[in-house]
């Protein structure tokens, strides 16, 4: 789960990283009051979980409280890069001398953490990284050793950051560890004209697997989540919405992952990842089908089940009960294998539902589902 900037700012502050004074609001009137408390001038910042807010008009400097109220009124309710603005943060304006980029991120390619730092931070960091990759230092961080002040000094000097940023680098690592984060990013980390080092923007991605011990964030993320994913989660399904047209339902994460690959190999695009897990009861299958079919982009559905503890005849009964409950209008291709596969196939054959066909192999099923998606 990604945090909002104001939540990241709070974490930074909790861990002793200097941040500008700031307050959060949803009301233009209150924005005026906040600007007054901040000394009149303020930076009004849309709280949306997307980068590039500055370039999209979501970060604006205002000269006085009246301008803060007006800007807040204009900004609230608009969309920044497709994200509706419901909350604003007003921050104290800082006199920036230099902008840096720093982050720690779990690097899945190397199976470890990386420190990424650059002396040319700010809103153009992507261009800097694309055109001057040598300006971006990438330094592995050992998870057990962490970022000591020696290590922080190494990172700072590799990226050409002033030595006084080392303290922030150490504390930022503490944020990552204490908060179970997969990413902590500060862009920009600034040196002010007065010589202070401050974190002006923050992005933190928490590890969802650690949610049980980071309970304070709750489930507030749902307002930003895909509505189908929210519904699937409420029904206890492991569903991830993707961009394609072939709906996928399978049992076991490994089987579902390989089903996505095989469908892609047939020239179609999977519309989702949906793992119904071990218990493929009629109810679970019906829930799965209704979630997958609720995606308007879906043109065919591939059900790929390998019977184990749940035998294929039970799954076949589940599919038919689900079809009766959900009444699909798009074709289903079913591949059953494993425990009691023959009985499962016989149950589907006997019913001969016009929208349900079977395939003997996973490759055959994927080919057929792809074909149906392109002709349906």
Ligand X SMILES: Nc1ncnc2c1ncn2[C@@H]1O[C@H](COP(=O)(O)OP(=O)(O)O)[C@@H](O)[C@H]1O
Does the annotation flag 251 for ligand binding?
yes
Choose from Mg ion, ligand X, none: what does 129 bind? Cβ within 5-8 Å by kind.
none
For residues 95 and 192, the answer to whether their CB atoms sit within 8 Å is yes
Reduced to 3 states (helix: H, G, I; strand: E, B; else coil), residue 376 is coil
String of contacts with Mg ion for each residue 166-205, x by CB under 5 A:
---------------------x-------------x----
Which two structure tokens, joined as six digits, stand for 154?
């190494």
For residues 9 and 18, the answer to whether their CB atoms sit within 8 Å is no
Q: Annotated catalytic residue: which of 5, 23, 98, 185?
A: 185
Q: For residue 204, which phi and psi values (nearest 5 degrees)?
A: -130, 125
Q: Does 364 bind ligand X (CB under 6 A)?
A: no
Q: Does 62 bind ligand X (CB under 6 A)?
A: no
Choose from Mg ion, ligand X, none: what does 277 bind? Cβ within 5-8 Å by kind.
none
Give how far Cα 81 sits from Cα of 46, 47, 54, 78, 164, Å. Answer: 11, 12, 11, 10, 35
Residue whose CB is nearest to Mg ion in the complex, by number: 201
Residue 185 annotated as catalytic:
yes
Report, in Å, the least distance between residue 268 CB and ligand X.
36
Does the annotation flag 201 for ligand binding?
yes
Nearer to Mg ion, 61 or 376 (CB): 61
Burial of 183 (0-12, 13-18, 19+ CB in 10 A): middle
Choose from Mg ion, ligand X, none: what does 299 bind? Cβ within 5-8 Å by kind.
none
Report, in Å, the least distance between residue 218 CB and ligand X.
24
DSSP string, 49-112: S-S-TTTTT-EEEESSHHHHHHHHHHHTT-EETTEE---EEEE----EEEEEEEEEEEETTTTE
Does the annotation flag 283 for ligand binding?
no
Can you tell me which of 23, 90, 104, 122 binds ligand X, judged by CB under 6 A? 122
Residue 101 annotated as catalytic:
yes
Report, in Å, the least distance between residue 113 CB and ligand X.
22
Question: Which residue is listed with tokens 């679970």?
Answer: 284
Report, in Å, the least distance between residue 43 CB and ligand X.
4
What is the rounded CA–CA span in Å between residue 162 and residue 136? 15
Does the annotation flag 60 for ligand binding?
no
Nearer to ligand X, 104 or 239 (CB): 104
For residues 330 and 245, the answer to whether their CB atoms sit within 8 Å is no
Q: Annotated catalytic residue: which of 5, 98, 101, 104?
A: 101
Q: Between the CA atoms of 56, 59, 63 and 67, what dihedral angle is there, to the nearest 10 degrees?
A: 70
- Which residues, numbered 90-109, are part of the site for ligand X (CB under 6 A)? 91, 93-94, 96, 99
What is the rounded CA–CA span in Å between residue 11 and residue 211? 16
- Which residues, numbered 17-56, are part of the site for ligand X (CB under 6 A)? 20, 43, 45, 51-54
- Which residues, numbered 159-188, are part of the site for ligand X (CB under 6 A)? 187-188
Residues near 324 by Cβ (< 8 Å), separated by ≥ 6? none
Report, in Å, the least distance between residue 98 CB and Mg ion.
15
Does the annotation flag 53 for ligand binding?
yes
- List, edge to edge, every strand of the sheet that includes 246-250: 238-241, 272-275, 246-250, 300-307, 332-338, 356-358
Mark residue 339 as left, alpha or beta (left: phi above 0; alpha: psi -120 to 50; beta: remaining): beta
Nearer to Mg ion, 168 or 286 (CB): 168
Does the annotation flag 57 for ligand binding?
no
Report, in Å, the least distance between residue 269 CB and Mg ion.
32
Nearer to ligand X, 122 or 247 (CB): 122
What is the rounded CA–CA span in Å between residue 116 and residue 184? 10
Q: Does 59 bind ligand X (CB under 6 A)?
A: yes
Does the annotation flag 14 for ligand binding?
no
Question: Which residue is listed with tokens 């995606």?
Answer: 295
Instruction: Summarize as ranges the residues that interact with ligand X (CB under 6 A).
Output: 20, 43, 45, 51-54, 59, 91, 93-94, 96, 99, 122-123, 187-188, 200-201
Q: Which residues are annotated as a binding site for Mg(2+)?
A: 187, 201
Q: Which residues are catalytic?
A: 101, 185
């Amino acid at each position: 789960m990604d945090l909002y900037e104001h939540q990241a700012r709070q974490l930074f502050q909790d861990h002793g990283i200097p941040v500008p004074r700031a307050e959060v609001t949803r009301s233009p009137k209150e924005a005026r009051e906040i600007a007054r408390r901040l000394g009149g001038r303020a930076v009004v910042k849309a709280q949306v979980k997307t980068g590039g807010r500055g370039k999209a008009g979501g970060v604006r400097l205002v000269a006085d409280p009246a301008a803060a109220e007006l800007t807040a009124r204009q900004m609230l309710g608009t969309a920044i890069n497709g994200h509706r603005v419901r909350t604003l943060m007003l921050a104290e304006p800082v006199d920036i001398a230099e902008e840096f980029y720093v982050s720690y991120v779990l690097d899945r390619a190397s199976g470890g953490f990386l420190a990424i730092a650059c002396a040319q931070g700010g809103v153009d960091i992507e261009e800097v990284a694309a055109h001057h990759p040598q300006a971006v230092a990438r330094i592995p961080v050992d998870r057990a050793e962490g970022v000591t002040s020696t290590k922080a000094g190494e990172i700072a000097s590799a990226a050409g950051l002033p030595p006084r940023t080392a303290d922030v680098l150490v504390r930022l690592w503490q944020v990552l560890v204490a908060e179970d984060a997969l990413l902590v990013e500060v862009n920009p980390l600034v040196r002010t004209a007065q010589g202070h080092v401050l974190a002006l923007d923050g992005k933190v991605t928490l590890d969802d697997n650690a949610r049980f011990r980071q309970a304070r964030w709750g489930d507030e993320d749902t307002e930003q989540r895909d509505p189908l994913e929210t519904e699937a989660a409420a029904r206890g399904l492991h569903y991830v919405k993707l961009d394609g047209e072939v709906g996928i339902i399978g049992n076991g994460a490994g089987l579902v992952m390989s089903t996505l690959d095989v469908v892609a190999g047939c020239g179609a695009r999977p519309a989702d990842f949906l793992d119904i897990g071990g218990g493929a009861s009629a109810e679970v299958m019906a829930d799965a089908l209704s979630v997958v079919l609720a995606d308007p982009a879906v043109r065919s559905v591939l059900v790929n089940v390998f019977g184990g503890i749940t035998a294929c005849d039970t799954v076949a009964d589940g599919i038919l009960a689900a079809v009766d409950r959900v009444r699909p209008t798009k074709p289903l291709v079913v591949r059953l294998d494993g425990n009691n596969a023959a009985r499962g196939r016989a149950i589907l054959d006997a019913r001969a539902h016009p929208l349900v066909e079977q395939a003997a192999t996973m490759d055959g099923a994927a080919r057929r589902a792809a074909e149906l998606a392109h002709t349906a």
